[in-house]
Chain A
Amino acid sequence: MKRRAVLAALSAAAAAGVLGSLVFLAIAWQTEIPAMAPPKLADFDAATIHRGAALVAIGDCVVCHTAERGPAFAGGRALETPFGTLYATNITPDQRTGIGNWSAAAFRRAMRDGVSRDGEHLYPALPYEHFTRVTDADLDAIYAFLMTRGPVLQKTPENRLIPPLGFRPLLAGWKLLFLHEDPVLPVTGQSDEWNRGRYLVEGFGHCGGCHTPRNIAGGEERGKPFAGGIAEGWDAPPLNAANRTAHPWTVDAVYRYLRTGMDAEHGIANGPMGPVAHGLSGAPDDDVRSIAVYVASLLERDGPKAGSLPPVDREVEATREHPEGAALFAGACATCHGPGAPMMAQGRPSLSFVSALQADHPRNAVQAVVNGLPAAQAGRTALMPPFGDSLTSSQIGQITAYLRSRYSERQPWTALEDSVEEALNAKEQP
């Protein structure tokens, strides 16, 4: 149903383009940019490469362009979309399978116009709609960084898309509708930090890629920047005043969250946000702080700005409302999250501060219960076991309802059952 609508929209867009617009042809027809000999380390200066490294950490290229357990930037990671499966490409400077023979101009065109060196249109899984806002100098720095990585010979698997989307010129129609060139100009009256943060967030950081809702054809909705979206089955919460958390977000809280993946008053970055925070842990400190300044300004809401709230704990009421959930919680969750749990003495967030339990939609709370927080492959981080294999959907529903009731003062969730089914189904099909 949804899929058919998407197809229709895309085809219509394409058809409109084909019939009515020379502009479309101009976009659809792209020439090949000649291959060149791969640049050498000496072709770049160190400062440029370092700047590129910092940007790449912020843009988190490595997350999408690395297959699970595969070499970094060598592509091959599958991205499930409503239109089929896309595979991230190899962006190491390998000449045959990567971008080794791309010139800086070819790279810039790919990043801005979504056109590969050989003239093929790229799918907007590459968020070129954000990269249009990145300066030439920064794109060149990113290019310098990528071209000085070790080349990895690794062929990208063929995309598996529903017809006719495998026909790439159609993408020109998509671009016509959704690709806009609007550089991020400094806002006077705002601090340099804020402006820097905005540039990074709107540009290479492409936060809107997840946090802005998408329309039926997969484009970001222009009128609703940062109004919240969905990514890989997780809620990307709104980055505006609608963001409901127990504590207001402060610059420090956003900074801690982005830098360490955890803030004691908001919880832990999970789902697709986990790798983003991991990437930012290696980004330059002042850039992360700038991002925090800008994001905190978006999140600003009325009411008290800071100060620790006492945790909400409606244990008695919640137990009365959800006795089964209470028993399940006592055996499955309390050993880490209950009062007196050693984890709590170690500064891990109280459940009443965890944003997922305050949110309008139960999606993230359910996801956390079903999938847990995976044992990270490296590094020191929170670790929560998944319950999707051990508890039934109704039990997961009961636990989650109990958590909402015990640790928040908000309305019970209505979409709970659907969310549980959705998360369990997604888990079944790896």
Chain B
Amino acid sequence: MTANTATQLSRRTFLSGSALVVAFSLSSRAFGQLAGGGEGSAGPAVVAPHLPGSLKSSPMLDSWIRIDADGKVTVFTGKVELGQGIRTALIQVAAEELDVPPTAIHLITADTVLTPDEGLTAGSHSMQDSGSAIRNAAANVRMLLVREAARTWNVEPAGIDTDGMGNLTGPEGRTLGYGPAASSLSLHVEAAADAPLRDPARYRTMGASLRRVDIPGKLTGEPAYLQDMRLPGMLHARMLRGPSFGTRFQSSDIAAISALPGVVKVVRQGNFLAVVAEREWTAITALRKFQDAPFVRTASPLPSGDVAATLKGLPSRDIGILDTRNATAPAASTVNARYSRPWLNHGSIGPSCAMAHFQDGAITVWTHSQGTFDVRRVVAELVGLPPEKVHAIHVEGSGCYGQNGADDVAADAALIAWDMPGRPIRLQWTREEEFGWEPLGPGMLTELEASLDTDKRIVTWKHEVWSNPHNNRPVGAGGVIAGGEVAKPFPVPEGKPIPMPEGDGSRNSNPLYDLPNMQVTYHFLKDMPLRVSALRSLGAHLNVFSIECMFDELARAGGVDPLELRLAHMKDERAREVMTTMAGRFGWQSRARGDGVRGCGMGFARYKNLGAYCAVAMEVEIDRETGRVRVRRAVAAVDSGQAVNPDGIRNQIEGGIIQSLSWTSREEMTFSPDRRTSFDWSAYPILRFEDMPDTIEVHVLDRPGLPFLGTAEAAQGPTAAAFANAVADATGLRLRDMPLSPERIKAALGAI
């Protein structure tokens, strides 16, 4: 029996309600494959390549949907809520294709015992992976229910419909509830690829801006986050670590800390140190006492040069992304430019937190990691338990935007719990710890060269990008901090590039535009001078910034309108429509032209050239004396395929625009050779209310019935470019190094 069928059997056992604890072995599963999220975690093996989304790896219907005899519907997803509204969107998808009201659906998100393994919740893949799987599974289930009613009534399936309320309706007014129909039916069957989907013209739920199911509780103080969990007998822990990754405190008096009243234990495993106390405040006081000591650096010094010098000083593996040769007219003008982005922090408002409980030889870990199944693998390896003895459950945390400290803190909590059987351990990282230890979004560099012929056609296009890997997601104990601290440390796995079309540092380095003579090279730098991993949109932030700034630089050189130049080189009809929609809503033709103070700019990309299309334009006003930029208005258009919840899409794009504005105009991790010096919100300022645009408008294109396209990261690159292009339009100055901060703008403007 393969491991995969074991999983399915176990699930059936669970679903039939006869067994609560389910054991299944993952030992033969293929580790290290690219899975959902496309960000390099260990993922489930593909067993049914012909099926859509995550049905490829979990093809059985009862992995996804269960219907009780009383008609209650439970839907399972391996994806998790990160604040992107996925819970609501997946409920809508299931409700639509099952044809039941959304309120009838109970959704269970990633849990290593209950749900399918869908890899990471990342890369804007949730709707593509899980949404498509649930949509088709639900369509299959509805098809089976219809057939079952046909059998019962002895009529043709064609004469049977569903009423949207969980009933099947047949000739002569016959009706049958889903519950009774399902009870004589096994859903433990493989999905068919061609189950009929509901007609978009008859949609009841999909395409409507259903209010998010998780919001009311979050507004009223209901327990909504992992941070809010309280288990009986729970103890509070804090990690005892140096000020940032690669440091350690010297000579702290551990005995004195252990002896503090209320401290239950100082857990020590090699260099792994944590304090556990009955009360949270005691743990915090103990931590402060511990930190009152000098620290030493245990790793090589942090780089002291700028991004370009640092990255160019690292050995590179050159990966060809594109190499096209075409006959063209000769180049008439050529533009060369170098763009860069510094290291960035995720900056989740709630620092990472985890809960772990070791009892009866098994560990349960509650985690807000994006990779619930990865947490199980990591913890199992770290403490030396078989994976089936580790149960990882996702509970929502603060928004995370990539790999922040969530995986590390889950491993930390598990290791502490492992040392203290019987007591649930709640471990909260501090704000300073999150700044100091989380993996950063990598600093990056690009160099572009492009030329126009005399007809304003682009005739050459060269793009080189230097980057560390963005996909250092832990799939084993070596990927988390604790793995390097225990007495027998686990080797840190070598970073690997994510191949195109997803890409990591190379993501979106291949322009969607129709250009001749394209040469795109990824200088992959495996040695990481700072701890880095995935940050929302990965390399797309700088690659799209570079491409879209270069279009404006060319437009300026050639004296063409930036939108015209883009449209002249874009064949993809949906891309064109997104740009023209944005331009129409923005009033691009009649926009204010750069006059030294005001200016407008745009940016466009299709995320990964696979996900949502997004175009952003903005109008800025510059205070030349302070360098401050006020965004007067931002207008975006987005095509996400079939929009399940248009307001959810708008919310994601608005958020993406604001976050990208913050990255692009303000943010930069600072460090000295011995530590990271951005350690709190004063040393790492992000945009606040007074920096917000006056208005943001998002227009969602209607694409009924088309496949879902990931949206959550689509705005990051276009926003960054639109901002830089608007600043350039306003001032005539081209700033190419992020952050385009007030100080830099003021310095660039000078006095004249």
Report the minimum CB–CB distance from B430 to chain A (whole Å). 8
Cα–Cα, bound, A49→B750 (Å): 10
Report the minimum CB–CB distance from B138 to chain A (whole Å). 48
Residue picked from A49, A341, A345, most chain B C-beta under 10 Å: A345
With contact pairs A149-B624, A378-B742 given, residues A340 and B679 touching in the complex (Cβ less than 8 Å): no
Comparing A67-75, A172-180, A399-407, the segment that makes contact with chain B is A67-75
Contact B677 A50 (CB under 8 A): no
Residues of B within 8 A of A148 (CB): 751-752
> Cβ of B228 < 8 Å from any Cβ of A?
no
> Cβ of A23 < 8 Å from any Cβ of B?
no
Contact B291 A340 (CB under 8 A): yes
Which residue of chain A is the closest to B621 with respect to CB atoms? A71
Contact B290 A53 (CB under 8 A): no
Per-residue 0/1 for B265-302: is the Cβ within 8 Å of any A Cβ (1 yes, 0 no)? 00000000000000000001001111111010000000
Contact of B752 among A50, A62, A150 (CB under 8 A): A50
Per-residue 0/1 for A305-348: is the Cβ within 8 Å of any B Cβ (1 yes, 0 no)? 00000000000000000000000000000110011111101100
Contact B288 A383 (CB under 8 A): no
Cα–Cα, bound, A52→B623 (Å): 18
Cα–Cα, bound, A346→B243 (Å): 9
Which residue of chain B is the closest to A54 with respect to CB atoms? B751
> Cβ of B468 < 8 Å from any Cβ of A?
no
Contact of A41 among B289, B685, B752 (CB under 8 A): B752
> Cβ of A4 < 8 Å from any Cβ of B?
no
Residues of A within 8 A of B679 (CB): 342-343, 346
Contact of A71 among B284, B289, B436, B623 (CB under 8 A): B623
Contact B690 A376 (CB under 8 A): no
Residues of A within 8 A of B436 (CB): 342
Which residue of chain B is the closest to A375 with respect to CB atoms? B688
Residues of A within 8 A of B291 (CB): 340-342, 345
With contact pairs A46-B752, A342-B679, A343-B679 given, residues A376 and B685 touching in the complex (Cβ less than 8 Å): yes
Cα–Cα, bound, A49→B751 (Å): 7
Report the minimum CB–CB distance from B75 to chain A (whole Å). 43
Contact A50 B751 (CB under 8 A): yes
> Cβ of A303 < 8 Å from any Cβ of B?
no
Contact A343 B292 (CB under 8 A): no
Residue picked from A62, A69, A379, most chain B C-beta under 10 Å: A379
Per-residue 0/1 for B591-621: is the Cβ within 8 Å of any A Cβ (1 yes, 0 no)? 0000011000000000000000000000000
> Cβ of B746 < 8 Å from any Cβ of A?
yes
> Cβ of A188 < 8 Å from any Cβ of B?
no
Cα–Cα, bound, A12→B752 (Å): 47
Per-residue 0/1 for B728-752: is the Cβ within 8 Å of any A Cβ (1 yes, 0 no)? 0000000000000111001000111
Cα–Cα, bound, A282→B624 (Å): 13
Within 8 A of B (CB), among A116-143: none
Contact B741 A378 (CB under 8 A): yes
Contact B751 A382 (CB under 8 A): no
Which residue of chain B is the closest to A61 with respect to CB atoms? B625
> Cβ of A215 < 8 Å from any Cβ of B?
no
Report the minimum CB–CB distance from A116 to chain B (whole Å). 22
Contact of A378 among B596, B743, B750, B751 (CB under 8 A): B743
Which residue of chain A is the closest to B247 with respect to CB atoms? A345
Report the minimum CB–CB distance from A49 to chain B (whole Å). 5
> Cβ of A380 < 8 Å from any Cβ of B?
yes
> Cβ of A377 < 8 Å from any Cβ of B?
yes
Which residue of chain B is the closest to A145 with respect to CB atoms? B751
Within 8 A of A (CB), among B649-679: 666, 670, 675, 677, 679
Cα–Cα, bound, A334→B284 (Å): 11
With contact pairs A69-B690, A150-B596, A376-B685 given, residues A53 and B243 touching in the complex (Cβ less than 8 Å): no
Cα–Cα, bound, A378→B667 (Å): 11
Majority DSSP secondary structure for residues of B touching A: loop
Contact A377 B597 (CB under 8 A): no
Within 8 A of A (CB), among B42-73: none
Cα–Cα, bound, A377→B290 (Å): 34
Contact A343 B597 (CB under 8 A): no
Number of interface residues of A (CB under 8 A): 35
Within 8 A of B (CB), among A34-62: 41, 46, 49-50, 52-53, 62
Which residue of chain B is the closest to A53 with respect to CB atoms? B751
> Cβ of A381 < 8 Å from any Cβ of B?
yes
Report the minimum CB–CB distance from A152 to chain B (whole Å). 10
Report the minimum CB–CB distance from B254 to chain A (whole Å). 14
With contact pairs A49-B751, A339-B292 given, residues A379 and B742 touching in the complex (Cβ less than 8 Å): yes
Report the minimum CB–CB distance from B546 to chain A (whole Å). 25
Which residue of chain A is the closest to B433 with respect to CB atoms? A342
> Cβ of B432 < 8 Å from any Cβ of A?
yes
Contact of B685 among A53, A62, A379 (CB under 8 A): A379
Report the minimum CB–CB distance from B284 to chain A (whole Å). 8
Contact A282 B432 (CB under 8 A): no
Contact A345 B295 (CB under 8 A): yes
Residues of A within 8 A of B323 (CB): none
Residues of A within 8 A of B292 (CB): 339-340
> Cβ of B214 < 8 Å from any Cβ of A?
no
Contact B288 A379 (CB under 8 A): no
Contact A72 B596 (CB under 8 A): no
Contact A334 B288 (CB under 8 A): yes
Report the minimum CB–CB distance from A73 to chain B (whole Å). 6
Contact A72 B625 (CB under 8 A): yes
Contact A340 B288 (CB under 8 A): yes
Contact A340 B751 (CB under 8 A): no
Residues of B within 8 A of A381 (CB): 682, 685
Cα–Cα, bound, A336→B288 (Å): 10
> Cβ of B681 < 8 Å from any Cβ of A?
yes
> Cβ of B691 < 8 Å from any Cβ of A?
yes
Contact A377 B690 (CB under 8 A): yes
Which residue of chain B is the closest to A92 with respect to CB atoms? B625
Cα–Cα, bound, A289→B241 (Å): 40
Cα–Cα, bound, A71→B295 (Å): 46
Cα–Cα, bound, A52→B625 (Å): 13
Per-residue 0/1 for B463-495: is the Cβ within 8 Å of any A Cβ (1 yes, 0 no)? 000000000000000000000000000000000
Residues of A within 8 A of B746 (CB): 282
Contact B752 A383 (CB under 8 A): no
> Cβ of B19 < 8 Å from any Cβ of A?
no
Per-residue 0/1 for A13-50: is the Cβ within 8 Å of any B Cβ (1 yes, 0 no)? 00000000000000000000000000001000010011
Cα–Cα, bound, A335→B666 (Å): 26
Contact A149 B625 (CB under 8 A): yes
Residues of A within 8 A of B743 (CB): 378-379
Contact of B682 among A53, A72, A383 (CB under 8 A): A383
> Cβ of B557 < 8 Å from any Cβ of A?
no
Cα–Cα, bound, A338→B243 (Å): 15
Cα–Cα, bound, A50→B750 (Å): 8
Cα–Cα, bound, A376→B684 (Å): 12
Report the minimum CB–CB distance from A191 to chain B (whole Å). 28
Report the minimum CB–CB distance from B356 to chain A (whole Å). 25
Report the minimum CB–CB distance from B666 to chain A (whole Å). 8
Which residue of chain A is the closest to B665 with respect to CB atoms? A378
Contact B243 A72 (CB under 8 A): no
Contact A49 B681 (CB under 8 A): no
Which residue of chain B is the closest to A73 with respect to CB atoms? B625
Within 8 A of A (CB), among B677-731: 677, 679-685, 688, 690-691
Which residue of chain A is the closest to B436 with respect to CB atoms? A342
Residues of B within 8 A of A53 (CB): 750-751
Residues of A within 8 A of B243 (CB): 342, 345-346
Contact B432 A342 (CB under 8 A): yes
The 6 listed contacts between A and B (C-beta, < 8 Å) are A72-B625, A148-B752, A346-B679, A375-B685, A380-B684, A383-B680
Inter-chain pairs besides A346-B243, A380-B685, A383-B680, 9 sampled, C-beta below 8 Å: A72-B624, A73-B625, A148-B752, A150-B597, A150-B624, A340-B291, A342-B436, A343-B680, A378-B628
**Residues in chain B within 8 A of chain A (CB atoms):** 243, 284, 287-293, 295, 430, 432, 436, 596-597, 623-628, 666, 670, 675, 677, 679-685, 688, 690-691, 741-743, 746, 750-752
Q: 10 shortest A-B CB distances, which residue pairs? A: A340-B292, A53-B751, A72-B625, A383-B682, A340-B291, A342-B432, A340-B288, A339-B292, A378-B742, A345-B243
